[in-house]
Structure 1
Amino acid sequence: MKRELRALHIALSEDLAPWYAKLLILITLGYALSPIDLIPDFIPVLGILDDLIILPVLIYLSIKMIPDDILEYCRREAEIRPWNRKKNWIAGGIVLLIWALIVVWIVYQFFPSVLQ
């Protein structure tokens, strides 16, 4: 799974995938790297099934949208390139901002009196 995520990152960063695949790759990588799950892991069974089902399905669908020759190139590159582990604080801040906005929207929709 780690190699596939790296291959998807290469396809995205080198502008090798079609636009519709890029959109799904962004969602896939965002979900894989986000510290926040749709279903928290402390919820018995469902928290783990979330990671066992959603992420592999996103990876599978992303891979199916990339042409075979490009995917093979990205997989080869993922094997030989070192994983770039530098921290991108701007991207992390954007992800946290999006999650915060979603939480505020949910609270506003279901508990409007809390924000007044």
Structure 2
Amino acid sequence: MILQNFKQKIRELKRQTLVVYFISRERALPWYIKTIAIIVAANALSPIDLIPDFIPILGMIDDFIIVPLGLALIIYLTPKKILRTAEIKAQQCNERPISYISAIAFILVWIATLLLIAHLVHSSFLM
């Protein structure tokens, strides 16, 4: 029961993150709401935490307090019409089938990019 409730909360957090992402792309919003939305969505989706998780207690603040509060702030500041549109887009995005081939291609492109950067850095140190 507890695990099921936790999974539901994670799904809701993911959906809200998508809503905030779509809000950040809305042209009719003031720049400050868009800026906050971009920062919150990037922080929620980024594998790099604001506060690293290995720091006891403080590392969890980023994941369990800052991200949900940022999501709530953006949802509160956004006009209802724009919020509804973003929610519909997020729902449509969640209903799409998952493409594992695309995910693998995306990961391979990132690995190739990192290897290229490492090669360039390594060759520049040898000069």
TM over 0.5: yes
Larger radius of gyration: 2
After superposition, what is the alpha-carbon deviation per residue over 1:3-37, rounded to whole angstroms, capped at 9, x for unaligned?
Answer: 11111112222424322210101111121122222
Partner of 1:80, secondary structure, is helix
1:27 aligns with 2:39: yes
Show structure 1 runs of 4+ deviating over 6 A. none
Alignment-derived partner of residue 83 in structure 2: 71
Give the length in aligned residue pairs: 90
Alignment-derived partner of residue 49 in structure 2: 37
With a CA cutoff of 8 Å and minimum separation of 6, indicate the structure with the bigger relative contact order: 1
TM-score scaled by structure 2?
Answer: 0.59
The 8 Å contact of residues 4 and 59 in structure 1, kept in 2 or not, is answered as yes
**Compared CA separation, residues 39 and 48, structure 1 to 2 (3 A):** same
Q: CA RMSD in A?
A: 2.7
Unaligned residue ranges in structure 2 (runs of 5+): 1-12, 111-127
Partner of 2:49, secondary structure, is coil
Unaligned residue ranges in structure 1 (runs of 5+): 90-116
1:6 aligns with 2:22: no
After superposition, what is the alpha-carbon deviation per residue over 1:62-102, rounded to whole angstroms, capped at 9, x for unaligned?
Answer: 1111101210121122111348x87597xxxxxxxxxxxxx
Shift of 1:42: 0.9
Identical amino acids, percent of aligned pairs? 40
Q: Of Structure 1 and Structure 2, which has the larger fraction of its residues in helix?
A: 2
